[in-house]
Amino acid sequence: MSEKTLGITAKKSEDFSEWYTQIVQKSDLADYTDVSGCIVFKPLAYAIWEKIVSEVDKRFKKSGIKNAYFPLLIPEKLLSKEKEHVKGFSPEVAWVTYAGNTQLDERLAIRPTSETIMYASFSKWIKSWRDLPLRINQWNNVVRWEFKHPVPFLRTREFLWNEGHTVFATKKEAEAERDEIMGIYQDVTENYMALHGLLGKKSEKEKFAGAEYTITLEYLLSNGKAIQGPDFHHDGQNFAKAFNITFLDKKEEKQHAWQNTFAITTRMIGIMIAIHSDDKGLVLPPKIAPNQIIIIPIFTKENKEKIIKKANEIKTKLKRFDPILDDREEYSAGFKFNESELKGYPIRIELGPKDLEKKQVILVRRDTNHKEPIKITSLTKTVPKVLEEIQTSLLKKATELIESNIKKAKDFQELKQHIKDQKIVLAPFCNEAKCEEMIKYKTGGAKTLNSPLNQKTNAKCISCNKPTKELFYFGKSY
């Protein structure tokens, strides 16, 4: 890439879409392919995903969830077993109809999600209360052929995710899993990705196809659009009845089981990029960055050897932060500075001949651009402190971004105005699908995001005036 085309030419505050498109490509996160809506996760993005997977997976395993792998392809008959579920997914299913030159007797769906193929197995595996709980997870790829405009990470036709599928003997046990799972997702998204989401229950209209209720974390992008993150669905006995998942309880009586499903997807990478990054490029929270430090030596032919030697010493000293030493000769230091900002290394360490004399480096924070000379001897003490400051500061900023954009509405006119101003609005709502459609129509597109869990009201629906006990967040969705 030439120095001219390196930088991002759009401003985040002026043209979010163009800025986002450029950052994804120029920071080497993703690339488009010949299949519309399917992207390449380039090494930087995939390494971020590996970090997310590793942190979530560790916590799942500790909680007793076991990983498995079910087939990619689902026979049409199976996919159709739960009515609401098939209605929700079939418009987006990619269908396999041929193998080689042979037409298949039955079409096979590429999994848009794996309930139907997993539960066919679960119903064979579960016979007795001894077989419960069954808590299975898989990390895989799914395809949903959405016809809306695809956007890398945020809306792709193929994406990567975890799908947890758990089965319990009682509703109480099933529901007790909710806080544990959402706690894991919150822990990783807040403390690693530095993102603050709104936790709550989806409306009847927006819940998962086949679920009794859906819990989500919702985020706000800087273009005023809300977007859904990880989710947890309590399925009640819906699927257990459709797939005949039953067990003999301790009294030898046959019961239908209770189920949950939950997921975090590669969309989170897009949300994280969009929230933290700036006009210079990617900003990555240290705890999710594949490399926390880049060391850029500034050298000429004459002093190269001396400076590279010291740079290597520093690299070894800071080994536990996976530093990269950019000692390429074919690029200028200026080019490397710009590139390091584009690619979001949390800390840049510059080392030139004058620094060498003074036994120091220049330490540059990616998030604030703050530069400071640091004695080489105190680097191992300073670096972890600065990394922690960056991590804390990014979460604080992300929290402020969403919280300062939440408004309460007293009446429908206020709701409409706040929506127009690209705010998230908290308002009482009757939770009826028809009423939600009306609100969407009258506000030019606002939907419910979710309903905060422990916040109850005794008010009237902001739209239809029916008494309600529920407050909902509203916003325009990405």
User: Which residues are at the interface with a copy of itself (CB under 8 A)?
Assistant: 31, 33-35, 38-43, 46-47, 49-50, 66-75, 77-78, 90-101, 107-108, 110, 117, 120-121, 124-125, 130, 136, 140-141, 143, 145, 147, 158, 160, 328, 330
CA–CA separation, 249 vs 161, rounded Å? 33
**The Cα angle at residue 331 between residues 325 and 335, in degrees rounded to 5:** 90
CB of 94 to a copy of itself, least distance (A): 5
Strand partners, 406: 424
φ, ψ at 283 (rounded to 5°): -125, 120
Output 31 or 403, the one with its CB closest to a copy of itself. Answer: 31
> Is the Cβ–Cβ distance between 155 and 149 less than 8 Å?
yes
Reduced to 3 states, what is the DSSP secondary structure of residue 465?
coil
DSSP designation for 422: T
Count of other CB atoms within 10 angstroms of residue 321: 19
Output 69 or 441, the one with its CB closest to a copy of itself. Answer: 69
CB of 289 to a copy of itself, least distance (A): 15
- Give the chain's end-to-end CA distance (angstroms, integer): 31
CB of 460 to a copy of itself, least distance (A): 40
CA–CA separation, 238 vs 259, rounded Å? 8
Output 94 or 401, the one with its CB closest to a copy of itself. Answer: 94
CB of 411 to a copy of itself, least distance (A): 40
Output 123 or 214, the one with its CB closest to a copy of itself. Answer: 123
Output 145 or 337, the one with its CB closest to a copy of itself. Answer: 145
Output 101 or 458, the one with its CB closest to a copy of itself. Answer: 101
Element (H, E) at 228: strand 226-236
CB of 99 to a copy of itself, least distance (A): 4
CA–CA separation, 51 vs 56, rounded Å? 9
Strand partners, 452: 200
> Is the Cβ–Cβ distance between 295 and 312 less than 8 Å?
no
Cα of 363 vs its chain's centroid, Å: 30
Residues belonging to the chain: 478
CB of 352 to a copy of itself, least distance (A): 23
Output 50 or 372, the one with its CB closest to a copy of itself. Answer: 50
CB of 143 to a copy of itself, least distance (A): 7
